[in-house]
């Protein structure tokens, strides 16, 4: 009896499709959606279709095909769950994913994301951050009741978005969600050229004088930031145990990242020299903290934070609150730069302008790369240093005999000769002539020089005089507390009457709920309202004291 062998079933299928043939090959089961996965290809004739089927079968056998039909939203959430980032970096990446990447690519399969899609996405963001493509320009938003104005997203923000997509798609390849990294071939916006813009010495003095007048602790924080050039997180993580008053040395060991104490940005400790002035300012600040602790019956720990909202220095300041407070101060004073980071730039610029070595400055502020970052991103141009360099260079070069004798090299006004200690005798500015004296500003070192009749000219060292700062501007929570306090005192809010909720207060004053909570905490501390969990705050009944007859 003849034996028959069963014919093996062919893998994949070829069927007519339009003007050609479609090839379909089974590629397994999606572990997420539990659906069958197929690979497809299109060919013009049956011969090419058979070649395409063979090629797809090789991809399946070698596991080079996407194993899942995972979406970009799924991938980005998975990537956020496994990536190791600081709290600040994590929040920034999560915000970019939530606000931009998910709305644009959330429902798209990872394997179908192309380089063209990413490049067009970046281009649209650079025209309008809401990607309206001009369709909403000038139209009124029904929710906000305001006209739409196209605002491009900053190149730095688009670049951050690119460096979220790049590692996420890299993970997708390793996890089998895709076979290529489209972001690796996409072109993000170019890096903007660095343009450090620190406050001028006059603006720095105005900021510091105003801070001293409003709050000595706040003034101490800004003063130490200006003279050390430390990062805001490093200042907020500084402890008294890090300061050696005997050796006049300060050690930067940690950084504060939204309340989490961690290593510095470069993961290295560094020491900074301080002088007697800085030592006196810090000792006065510590004396104030010790006095507060003493009044409350406690003691100041050696390991307490130098800058804290607590009397005993148990909790550090938050870097974000410091930035917000400085921005409000700078806006109120109307200075041209309003980032607390610019005080760090001010420190680097002034040190380099004073002749400090680049490597010394880089080591002092915690820059790596031997000073490249210091010069590229933090050093601003100083006209005074530029003038001094040129003046010193011209003195070293030979000149033809008799060239300078034909020109006036001295300045004589009414018989009084001007001469600066730096050697300048001919370059002056802001000339003021009196009956018996003449005053001018040296054009090389910008020192004030005075010449009197019958006397030699002398260089006058003057302390910069800055006008007193404006009166202290109340914080939003203080304004809210003041309004409620006035309403309670004048009887608008009667005893036992319910106070508006924190949500209503926040909406009425356009502030966050946390700001409204802070105002309520102030009123509770003053004994004006009663607050209990699960119930609305009410005006506390005031006991009326009667004098004995």
Question: What pLDDT, in 10s, does the model give residues 443-486?
Answer: 666 677 777 776 665 544 444 444 455 566 678 888 888 888 88
CA 494 vs CA 16, 476, 527, 538, 541: distances in Å: 84, 24, 14, 9, 8
pLDDT of 375: 54
Mean pLDDT score across all residues of the chain: 80
- Which pLDDT band, with edges at 50, 70 and 90, does 374 fall under? low
Residue ranges and CATH numbers for the domains of the chain are: 13-52 (no CATH), 72-136+149-185 (1.10.150.130), 201-378 (1.10.443.10), 410-460 (no CATH), 476-539 (1.10.10.10)
Percent of the chain predicted with pLDDT > 70: 79
pLDDT for the residue 382: 45
Alpha-carbon separation of residue 528 from 201, 519, 533 (angstroms) = 45, 12, 17
Q: Count helices and strands (H / E) in the chain.
A: 19, 16
pLDDT at residue 185 in the model: 92
pLDDT (mean) for 205-217: 88
Report whether pLDDT(389) > 70: no
pLDDT at residue 277 in the model? 83
**Residue 433: what pLDDT?**
66
When pLDDT is cut at 50, 70 and 90, the band that residue 346 belongs to is: confident
Q: Which of 24-33, 408-417, 524-533 has the highest mean pLDDT?
A: 524-533
**pLDDT tens digits, one per residue of 496-540:** 888 888 888 888 888 887 788 888 888 888 888 888 777 788 888
**Does residue 7 sit in helix, strand or coil?**
coil
Distance CA 367, CA 361 (A): 8
Kindly state the average pLDDT of the residues 310-337: 91
| Burial bucket for residue 385 (CB in 10 Å: 0-12, 13-18, 19+) | middle
Out of 14-18, 97-101, 435-439, pick the least confident.
435-439
Q: What is the pLDDT of residue 143?
A: 73
Distance, CA of 88 to CA of 409 (rounded, Å) = 59
Mean pLDDT, residues 289-302 taken together: 90
Average pLDDT of the residues in 199-211: 88
Determine the average pLDDT of the residues in 202-218.
Answer: 88
Q: Over 411-434, what HEC string results?
A: EEECCEEECCCCCCCCCEEEEEEC
Any alpha helices (H) in 128-181, and if so which ranges? 155-175
Rounded to whole angstroms, what are the CA distances from 259 to 228, 313, 365, 513? Answer: 22, 14, 22, 20
Copy the structure tokens of residue 105.
């690519």
Residue 229 has pLDDT above 80, yes or no: yes
Distance, CA of 473 to CA of 485 (rounded, Å): 18
How far, in Å, are 152, 176, 198, 415 from residue 345 at the CA level? 27, 46, 5, 45
Give the model's pLDDT for residue 39.
Answer: 84
Name the least confident of 155-164, 280-289, 398-407, 529-538.
398-407
Strand partners, 41: 23
What value does the mean pLDDT take over residues 152-177? 91
Q: And the tokens for 321? A: 């609150």
Q: pLDDT-based confidence at 32, cuts 50/70/90?
A: low
Closest CA to 256 of 233, 239, 240: 233
Lowest mean pLDDT among 49-53, 291-295, 327-331, 520-524: 520-524
């Amino acid at each position: 009896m003849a034996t028959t062998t069963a014919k093996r079933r062919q893998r994949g299928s070829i069927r007519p499709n339009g003007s050609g043939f479609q090839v379909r090959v089974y590629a397994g089961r999606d572990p997420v959606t539990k659906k069958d996965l197929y690979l497809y290809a299109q060919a013009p004739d049956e011969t090419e279709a058979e070649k395409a089927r063979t090629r797809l079968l090789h991809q399946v056998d070698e596991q080079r095909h996407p194993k899942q039909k995972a979406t970009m939203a799924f991938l980005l959430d998975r990537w956020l769950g496994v990536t190791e980032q600081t709290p600040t970096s994590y929040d920034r990446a999560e915000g970019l994913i939530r606000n931009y990447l998910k709305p644009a690519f959330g429902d798209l399969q990872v394997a179908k994301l192309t380089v063209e899609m990413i490049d067009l996405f970046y281009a649209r963001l650079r025209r309008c951050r809401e990607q309206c493509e001009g369709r909403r320009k000038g139209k009124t938003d029904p929710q906000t009741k305001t006209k739409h104005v196209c605002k491009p997203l900053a190149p730095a923000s688009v670049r951050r978005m690119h460096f979220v997509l790049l590692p996420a798609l890299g993970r997708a390849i390793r996890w089998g969600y895709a076979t290529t990294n489209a972001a690796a071939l996409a072109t993000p916006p170019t890096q903007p050229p660095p343009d450090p813009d620190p406050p001028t010495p006059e603006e720095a003095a105005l900021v510091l004088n105003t801070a001293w007048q409003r709050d000595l602790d706040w003034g101490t924080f800004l003063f130490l930031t200006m003279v050390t050039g430390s990062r805001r997180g490093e200042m907020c993580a500084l402890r008294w145990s890090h300061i050696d008053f005997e050796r006049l040395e300060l050690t930067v060991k940690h950084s504060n990242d939204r309340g989490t104490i961690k290593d510095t940005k470069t993961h290295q400790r560094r020491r900074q020299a301080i002088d007697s002035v800085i030592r006196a300012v810090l000792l006065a600040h510590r004396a104030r903290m010790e006095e507060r602790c003493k009044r409350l019956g406690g003691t100041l720990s050696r390991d307490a934070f130098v800058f804290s909202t607590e009397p005993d220095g148990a909790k550090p300041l938050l870097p974000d609150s410091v930035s917000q407070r400085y921005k409000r101060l700078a806006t109120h004073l109307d200075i041209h730069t309003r980032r607390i980071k610019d005080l760090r730039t001010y420190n680097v610029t002034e040190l380099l302008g004073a002749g400090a070595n680049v490597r010394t400055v880089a080591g002092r502020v915690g820059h790596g790369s031997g000073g490249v970052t210091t010069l590229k991103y933090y050093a601003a141009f100083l006209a005074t240093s530029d003038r001094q360099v040129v003046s010193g260079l011209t003195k070293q070069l030979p000149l033809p005999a008799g060239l300078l004798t034909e020109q006036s090299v001295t300045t004589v006004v009414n018989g009084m000769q001007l001469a600066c200690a730096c050697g300048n005798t001919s370059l002056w500015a802001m000339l003021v002539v009196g009956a018996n004296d003449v005053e001018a500003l040296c054009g090389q070192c910008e020192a004030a020089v005075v010449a009197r009749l019958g006397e030699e000219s002398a260089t006058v060292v003057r302390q910069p005089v800055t006008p007193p700062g404006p009166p202290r501007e109340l914080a939003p929570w203080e304004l809210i507390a003041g309004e409620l306090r006035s309403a309670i005192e004048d009887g608008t809010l009667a005893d036992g009457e319910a106070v508006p909720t924190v949500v209503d207060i926040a909406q009425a004053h356009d502030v966050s709920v946390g700001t409204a909570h802070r105002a309520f905490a102030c009123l509770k501390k003053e004994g004006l309202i009663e607050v209990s969990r699960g119930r609305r705050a009410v005006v506390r009944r005031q006991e009326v004291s009667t004098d004995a007859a």
